[in-house]
Amino acid sequence: MNQPVSSRLPDFPWDKLTAYAATARAHPDGIVDLSVGTPVDPTPAVVRAALCAAADSPGYPTTIGLLQTRQAAIDWLARRFGVRGLGLDAVLPVIGSKELIGSMALHLGIGAGDLIGYPELAYPTYEVGAALAGARSLATDSLTAFGPETPRLLWLNSPSNPTGRVLPLEHLRKVVQWCRERGTILVSDECYLECAWDVEPISVLHPDVCGDSHEGILSVHSLSKRSNLAGYRCAFVAGDPALVGELLAVRKNLGLQMPGPQQRAMIAALEDDTHVAEQHATYAARRARLRAALTGAGFTIDHSEASLYLWAQRRSDAGAENCWTTVAALAELGVLVAPGDFYGPAGSGHVRVAFTATDERVDAAVARLS
């Protein structure tokens, strides 16, 4: 009997938090769940109106998506991040970025015997995608770690989940050159590009990074965080038209199509900057309150210059506290956070603290930490 595919996958990490969540829920004032970065604020009115107006949608959508959807993505990348030279064949709407990331390697024909690289501290879906494709994987931030071997695909994530770290221009440029010299496909997960606080992130598709060509490069973008659209599953991939075409050919055969009403909502979200600025200000205020409370409680915040998380650590003379010890201590206060080792062994001394809870729950966490 063949081995089930599920046996190739890593354990689903969030299952390990169940007991700590129960402890936090037992707090007299209820749980403050800062473990998952799920939006809690209203979906913007302009987006909901667009969805309602497009609700009568009896026909099948196309996998390639509406021309207007793809043009809105191109215009947004140009307006907000200075990306130039994308054509309509270089953009593909997808049903949430996680689905795309998890299936990317498989859909690009990567499989047994191939190697996939991803960051040392990383969103677990990169590893899952490699496992689904039957490929080997290596978690590293060092290009020299590959030695003489050439990975078929290399993932970047800037701004990073979980650390909030933003890769500088020179590093991105170096990685692009390294991949092009070896024929490695480079995919940059840029889902937190508009969630920046202390720096200005740059897309791998910017001409200062990749020159006048997007050959061999893809970038992944999501509207879940910047527009409170996690429930709509609106995302897109952009870059090398040849790679986008490969993804399109496979996805057409599988019937992976973003619903038409969501595409109209996505257009409205990408064309409106006002709601993004308002949400950014809301998150900035929550971030400032939580950061002050954590540092006041003896935590050190590392990186965290972007994304929707604080990468926090508590130290003593003996060194960094193990992440599960920190998780347990905060759960006793009714505050649930994510252990850093969910994202790789290098995170064992940190916890990831999301600031996507409501103002009331953030204030409750601040009070408990104080």
Which candidate, 334, 350, 357, places its Cα nearest to that of 283? Answer: 357
Look-up: residue for tokens 């490695």?
184
| Average pLDDT of span 149-156 | 98
- Give pLDDT, residue 351: 98
Tokens, residue 123:
């969103």
Statement: residue 311 has pLDDT above 90: yes
End position of a domain, from candidates 220, 242, 272: 272
Q: Are 206 and 314 in contact (CB under 8 A)?
A: no
| Average pLDDT of span 335-349 | 96
Which candidate, 329, 368, 370, 369, places its Cα nearest to that of 351? Answer: 329
**Band of residue 3 on the pLDDT scale cut at 50, 70, 90:** low
Residues 244 and 109 in one domain: yes
Which candidate, 76, 56, 87, places its Cα nearest to that of 213? Answer: 87
Q: Are 58 and 259 in contact (CB under 8 A)?
A: no
The C-alpha atoms of residue 224 and residue 231 are separated, in whole angstroms, by 8
Q: Are 73 and 238 in contact (CB under 8 A)?
A: yes
Tokens, residue 29:
């004032």
The C-alpha atoms of residue 217 and residue 236 are separated, in whole angstroms, by 14
Which candidate, 116, 69, 79, 30, places its Cα nearest to that of 257? Answer: 69
Residues 75 and 88 in one domain: yes
The C-alpha atoms of residue 202 and residue 225 are separated, in whole angstroms, by 17
Number of domains in the chain: 2
- Give pLDDT, residue 320: 84
Task: Please report, rounded to a whole number, the percentage of residues in the chain having pLDDT higher than 90.
Answer: 93
Q: Is residue 306 helix, strand or coil?
A: strand
Statement: residue 1 has pLDDT above 80: no
- Give pLDDT, residue 7: 65
End position of a domain, from candidates 272, 301, 320: 272
pLDDT tens-digit series, residues 196-245: 998 999 999 999 999 999 999 999 999 999 999 999 999 999 999 999 99
Residues 282 and 254 in one domain: no
Residues 296 and 248 in one domain: no
pLDDT tens-digit series, residues 47-88: 999 999 999 999 999 999 999 999 999 999 999 999 999 999
The neighbour count for residue 19, using CB atoms within 10 Å, is 10
Residues 202 and 329 in one domain: no
Q: Is residue 209 helix, strand or coil?
A: helix
**Band of residue 16 on the pLDDT scale cut at 50, 70, 90:** confident
- Dihedral (CA of 262, 268, 269, 271) sign: positive
Dihedral pair phi/psi, residue 337, rounded to 5°: -130, 170
Residues 357 and 226 in one domain: no
Burial class (CB in 10 A: 0-12, 13-18, 19+), 140: middle
Residues 32 and 156 in one domain: no
Residues 149 and 265 in one domain: yes
Residues 245 and 300 in one domain: no
One-letter identity of residue 217:
I
What is the maximum alpha-carbon separation in the chain? Answer: 65
Residues 191 and 280 in one domain: no
Residues 235 and 310 in one domain: no
Statement: residue 366 has pLDDT above 70: yes
Q: How many CA atoms lie within 13 A of 308 on its CB side?
A: 26
Q: Is residue 223 helix, strand or coil?
A: coil
CATH number of residue 308's parent domain: 3.90.1150.10
End position of a domain, from candidates 221, 251, 272: 272
DSSP string, 227-242: TT-TTTT-EEEEE-HH
CATH number of residue 57's parent domain: 3.40.640.10
Residues 323 and 344 in one domain: yes
Strand partners, 235: 94, 222
Which candidate, 111, 89, 107, places its Cα nearest to that of 99? Answer: 107
- Give pLDDT, residue 124: 92
**HEC profile of 54-66:** CCCCCCCCCCCCC
Tell me the residue range of the domain where 80 lies. 45-272
Q: Are 106 and 112 in contact (CB under 8 A)?
A: no
- Mean pLDDT, the chain, rounded, equals 95
